[in-house]
Amino acid sequence: MKKRILFAAALCLAALSLISCGKSKKPAGNLPAYLDENRPLEERVEDALSRMTVEEKVALTHAHSKFSSAGVPRLGIPEVWCTDGPHGIRAEVLWDEWEQAGWTSDSCTAFPALTALAASWDPELARLYGTVIGEEARYRKKDVLLGPGVNIYRTPLCGRNFEYMGEDPYLSGQMVVPYVQGVQTNNVAACVKHYALNNQETDRFFYNVTIDDRALYEIYLPAFRAAVQEGGAWAIMGSYNLYKGQWNCHNQYLLNDILKGEWGFDGVVISDWGGVHDTDQAITNGLDMEFGTWTNGLTMGKTNAYDNYFLAEPYLEKIRSGAVGTTELDEKARRILRLIFRTNMNPEHKTGKFTSPEHYAAARKIGSEGIVLLKNEGGLLPIRSDVKKIVVVGENAVKMMTVGGGSSSLKAQHEISPLDGIREAFPQAEVVFERGYVGDAGGEYNGVSTGQDLRESRSAAKLIADAVAAAQAADCVIYIGGLNKSEGQDAEGADRTALGLPYGQDAVIEALAAANPKLVVVNISGNAVAMPWVDKVPAIVQDWYLGSEAGHSLADVLSGAVNPSGKLPFTFPVALLDGPVRTPEQFPGVPGDDRRPIFSDVLVPILEENYSEGIYVGYRWFEKQQIAPLFPFGHGLSYTTFAYGEPKVSKSTMTAGGTVTVSVPVTNSGSVAGAEVVQFYVADPECSVDRPVKELKGFSKVFLAPGDTKTVSVTLDKSALSFFDAGKHAWVAEPGRFEVLVGSSSADIRGQVSLELR
């Protein structure tokens, strides 16, 4: 706090010394350009750069606390303050420690995890999400929000999948752009992460990815590219892993050639905390700002050791000795200054909001619209309003989920549990709770505690017996289980070891299904799970980590106050080996010949990981292999039904520079108002190279009252028909016939239409 006050004072003094003389103010024209908010951004940047010393420029490029980097006090240029994370603004920690700072004003609004946002398939909700979380960041005086994450869902074992936006690059790209734009309307930079090929937590500091360029460009880069070129992201975070033998926080091909070269990115590249390993590569290979944890940014050592960072004193020593010049330094400083003038020194002077009623309303809406109704036989859902007795079973009905999971862990002002939400939604009913199983009795992460005591003395058999006894007399049974944010489940730092539910939950569900046919299973997770009991349960709901309003969002859907409209952003396999990642060489990698010092002077073998499945990730793989999934990509039911008419194209042929509009009438053929996500896939049956059966290239969410019909349309151009030709290093669309398939999921195609590219 003292350093923030000093920077504010320096800024005032710098401005006053330049605009004040005696009792009168000099005209604004006498301000140096960098302090004149009416000057163009680039003019301000270049003016500030020209006034800085080499030492001041280097100071910009590395951290000087856990979450901040130095400004230029002499010039009144403030620090850059970063914050985790993509789902809410992290609690304050001490200057040089991870322990809590003990603030009483840093309890935030916890928003739904990004899997829930992706499951809404609603770009306008993504814009709302970005806007409200950006307001919370600005209120807390943060300049960079370390999120959103758009790494592709490659395997359901990845511990951080809950932070990302699913398996499809087009869906991720369409959802990340408005999120980024919403955040940045508050003068807060969105830092899109983790760039790139960061699809596991196992050995995350030392695995090297081998992948062909076509898969890189078609699957793993499009969402990042959209965030940069369409969203205008001001920051990108590098990832821990290696690609082409270089760590991705200083990777020539990813950062200089692609990000800054091909895409024209003009923002800052920020390292993940401890992701920097070499001064020379950090200087030349595209990194702009180094952040870390301990001495040298990664390993345990000195406190307040920021001068030892790779881009700190070692960088200065190389400049002073003549080993390197200052061309790269000027470019880094230029980008950092651009960031500062876009955020803290932006002339719009946004103030933000924090834990407002509007923010909680947004969290509740995003959560309810992201919930996916997977199965609903016999119309068990929504639960009738006159139900007399509801039995709720499962630890996740009461366990707080905002604490834990890694860097996205939050100190929430409040968190409504599913059990409390159900009790509030059904005040006339007797709502009985049974634990059913014991998962994780803990509730503490990084000094933030839930305050819950979930210790249990009953045996597993007794817990099941008690739950069954209660369920037998119920009008409706709601089982609420799934995963949690403990290590080895949905959490940073470790991956899952199996697809199945932990803690013996399958046995609990089987027993409840035998005891009462009116069973609803609610799975809370950020990943697919195995469901061996799927045929015995009439209703299944895919819930997510929904933050502060979790219980309200779920109860809204269970009660019918909100008609579910979410669609799966990733495929649920029946079994783990049904998916594309099947061998140790694919995941988590096997030791190679390369050994490097990472945590200490001891040489550690770099794991080699081969993305040999190429472009066949998610539904692309299942369709190519003709393997039926448990639930397909894009699947999600409603309490009403939708009838699709015949799709049409605006013209049957398209030139390389033209567009075609594909439209389809959709009718709410049921009795309840609701929203449908209409999905448009493109197939290329005549292509000279191997292509997926079909690929998502458009979607639109439409709300319809009973009996209403609306025409839903998307416009396709050449890019929607293209594949990446690695030999030409270019996107190619071959002339010929294409099919556009329109449906309610990747497996539920309602119609198709042909067009020809000339």
Q: Which two tokens stand for residue 608?
A: 């080699």
Phi and psi for 114 in degrees, rounded to 5? Answer: -70, -20
Amino acid at 6: L
End-to-end CA distance of the chain: 63
**Cβ pair 342, 41 in contact under 8 A:** yes
Rg of the chain in Å (alpha carbons):
27
Residues 6+ apart with CB under 8 A from 632: 568, 571, 572, 619, 622, 745, 746, 747, 748
Q: Which two tokens stand for residue 22?
A: 């005696």
What gap in Å lies between CA 711 and CA 644, rounded to an integer? 10
151: left (phi over 0), alpha (psi -120 to 50) or beta: beta
Q: What string of DSSP letters covers 430-460?
A: EEEEE--S------EETTEE--------S-H
Amino acid at 369: E
**Token match 């709901």: residue?**
541
What gap in Å lies between CA 655 and CA 725, rounded to an integer? 20
Q: What string of DSSP letters covers 499-553?
A: SS-STTHHHHHHHHHHH-S-EEEEEE-SS----TTGGG-SEEEEE---GGGHHHH
What distances in angstroms separate CA 478 from CA 156, 554, 639, 740, one per listed residue? 25, 11, 18, 40
Cα dihedral: 160, 163, 169, 175 (round 10): 180
Amino acid at 607: L
Q: What string of DSSP letters covers 613-635?
A: TTT--THHHHHHHT---SB-TT-
165: nearest Cα among 154, 180, 185, 150: 150
Residues 6+ apart with CB under 8 A from 374: 540, 541, 542, 568, 572, 631, 635, 636, 637
Q: What string of DSSP letters covers 236-285?
A: EEE-SSEETTEEGGG-IIIIIIIIIIIS---SEEE--TT----HHHHHHS
Residues 6+ apart with CB under 8 A from 548: 109, 110, 111, 360, 363, 402, 412, 413, 414, 415, 416
What is the 3-state secondary structure of 639-659?
A: CCCEEECCCEECCCEECCCCE
200 CB-side CA count, 13 A:
26
Residue 506 is a catalytic residue: no
> DSSP letter at 108?
B
**Catalytic pick among 203, 272, 556, 578:** 272
Amino acid at 748: D
Active-site positions read: 272
